[in-house]
Amino acid sequence: MKKAVFPGSFDPLTNGHLDIIQRASEIFDEVVVAVGINTNKQGLFTPSERLELVEEAVADLPNVQVGQVGGLTVDYMNEIGAKYLVRGLRNAKDFEYERDIAEVNSVLAGVETVLLLAKPENQNVSSSMVKEIAKFGADKLDAFVPAVVVTALQKHFQ
Ligand code: ADP
């Protein structure tokens, strides 16, 4: 069985992330979206809020699960028996970054990284852009994030 992990901050989940999750779920038998708990990074949403939003957004994808990662992604992958790591690429900057990490993960743990290209309409979508716009009105965001995230952003900024 081919099991993949898609790790990230997902603060919050965007349509770009969701597209990668959907496409990965067609390639792999099982996909685990791993929400990172980065104690150094103060997020807009708490790790459990971010996890809940991802869970709601992927509820219709039967082979997608959601988990939390506190340490190294490769250790988590070893724990759950996943050999493939999925990441999304929006531009050349993403590529440079991902190539270095993929190399390290390959040496560290023999993990195979699969990089999926962002769809053109998602190339400029990022969690940080979404957070910036949300301060001025989350109702403008339904082109960039799933409906559950629009609602959560509205609550957060009301
Ligand atoms: P991280 O802090 O680990 O980069 P993010 O939540 O920002 O976490 O991103 C998680 C993954 O999703 C990364 O591989 C990133 O390149 C990818 N990603 C982010 N935004 C998009 C998008 N709009 N389209 C496709 N992939 C994306």
Active site residue 90: yes
Beta strands in the chain (DSSP E): 3-8, 30-36, 64-69, 84-89, 112-117
Output the CA 137–ligand 1 centroid distance in Å: 23
| Lookup: tokens for 135 | 């301060």
From CA 10, how far away is CA 34, in angstroms rounded? 9
pLDDT at 39: 66
Global pTM value: 0.96
User: Is the pLDDT at 154 greater than 80, yes or no?
Assistant: yes
Catalytic entry in 25, 50, 127, 131 = 127
Output the CA 118–ligand 1 centroid distance in Å: 9
Output the CA 17–ligand 1 centroid distance in Å: 6
Active site residue 3: no
Catalytic entry in 3, 23, 83, 90 = 90
Strands across the sheet containing 30-36:
64-69, 30-36, 3-8, 84-89, 112-117
User: Is the pLDDT at 57 greater than 80, yes or no?
Assistant: yes
Report the residue among 17, 21, 90, 98 best suited for mutation to probe ligand 1: largest number of ligand atoms under 8 A from its CB.
Answer: 17
Buried b (16+ CB within 10 A) or exposed e, 110-122: ebebeebebeeeb
23-52 per-position pLDDT tens digit: 999 999 999 999 999 767 778 999 999 999
Average of per-residue pLDDT across 80-86? 98
Residues listed for the chain: 158
In this prediction, residue 81 has a pLDDT band, given cuts at 50, 70 and 90, of very high
Q: By C-alpha distance, which of 158, 155, 131, 157 is closest to 144?
A: 131
What do you get for the CA distance between the two ends of the chain, in Å?
45
pLDDT at 158: 81
Distance of CA 11 to the CA centre of its chain: 9
